[in-house]
Amino acid sequence: MNLKYLSRLLLGSVLLVTITACEITQGAPVVVTQKTQTLPDAETVMQTIEKVANWQVARTQYMPHVGRAQLGSESYGRWIQGAFYVGLTQLAERSPNPFYETWIGYVGEAHDWRMGKVKYFADDHVIGQMNLWYYNRHNNQAALVPVKEVFDWLIEQNPTNDLTFIAGRNADRLHNCQWRWCWADALFMAPPTLIALSNATGDQKYIEYAHKEFQATVDYLLDPKTGLMFRDSRYFDRKGKFDEQIFWSRGVGWVYAGIVNSLAQLPEDHQYRPYYENLYMDLTQSIIKLQKKDGSWPMSLLAGEKDPYPESSGTAFFTYGLLWGINQGLLSEKEYLPQILNAWTVLNNAVHPDGKFGWVQGVNDKPDVVAYDDSQLYGVGAFLLAGSQMYDFVSNNAISN
């Protein structure tokens, strides 16, 4: 059967199921503040993350620049879609349903596995993580070649501009900061892709470049007082609406998940692994104490309980990283699981009856506003990452018991 026809057939089935399942609840739910320590079972977790993925897939175009239609700007598309694909690959590894992997393959073929249009821009590199995941499973050279071409070119350019944030991009001049990783989100988008490329090709130059630039970004954006990462240099002195120093939840979440995804690609005995593990542990200590009573993290991390909204994208990234740490034996289950389960309750409350994942702050670079009906591809990707790690945890827990 033709892959394109099969994918459309499967996509139509998913769309039919998600449309007929139930209607979206009107109005925002009451935020649940009561803590729960109930551990979900693996089947329930899988059903939940598949429901969310099905809702999103049924509403997502194949081409990775769908962001143009949604947001009116071509520059948004790659990272929005790419972050979703990163989460979807993790679901595809765990789900017994082959649809997700089939659909990922069709997505790649539909755009010839190309990377983004701006070769130096980290936001256009995240889609390479999907490419390399598919390459590793199918030995598909077409998925590998564009990733290698982009990073070979970038390493040859070897930009050395400083990391002071400059709005906008200029592909012709190396002075623009966005030739390098001058914003926190970039640490999710590019480094794991480069490390995975070293694994795929055996060429260590990609890890070396990733590590050099990763360190430079952390050294520049890490605040020694709080242990948190500024989103970019514009926020070194900015204050939020509660007169707090601004540390954006999703921005720090991008970094936290980027560290995890980099560690997941690094060999256990790699010389750079201690650097990332130490960074992971330090950041964990900084974020865990900022969780609100309802189980979410505030959009402005230092706003605390003054921020009433259960924003789900930052919360999902933090939940993902914490669960990964427990699953890897880096974090104490006894110490961290209660707070993880509170966060998991928040994330489940963000799932609409039909599978739409809500409470996702829209495209931004700072704390702003959010509502129950707000959803975005990257938020779904973050939830799929968190859900995949929860699935692993409860599956392992069931085996050990």
Write out the catalytic residue numbers: 185
Q: For residue 395, which of 331, 322, 326, 334 has the smallest C-alpha distance?
A: 326
Q: Kindly state the tokens that stand for 3.
A: 């892959």
CB contact at 8 A, 262 and 214 = yes
Q: For residue 40, which of 48, 50, 29, 51 has the smallest C-alpha distance?
A: 48
**Measured between alpha carbons, how far is 146 from 116 in angstroms, rounded to an integer?**
10
CB contact at 8 A, 343 and 390 = no
Residue in this structure with the two tokens 């560690």, named with its chain if needed: 263
Sign of CA dihedral 99, 105, 107, 110: negative
**Measured between alpha carbons, how far is 111 from 129 in angstroms, rounded to an integer?**
15
CB contact at 8 A, 343 and 37 = no
Query: What are the φ and ψ backbone dihedral angles of 245, each rounded to 5 degrees?
Result: -65, 140
Q: Kindly state the tokens that stand for 83.
A: 């972050």
In sequence order, which residues have a C-beta less than 8 Å from that of residue 165 and are 6 or more positions away? 177, 182, 183, 232, 233, 234
Query: What are the φ and ψ backbone dihedral angles of 370, each rounded to 5 degrees?
Result: -160, 150
**Measured between alpha carbons, how far is 10 from 58 in angstroms, rounded to an integer?**
10
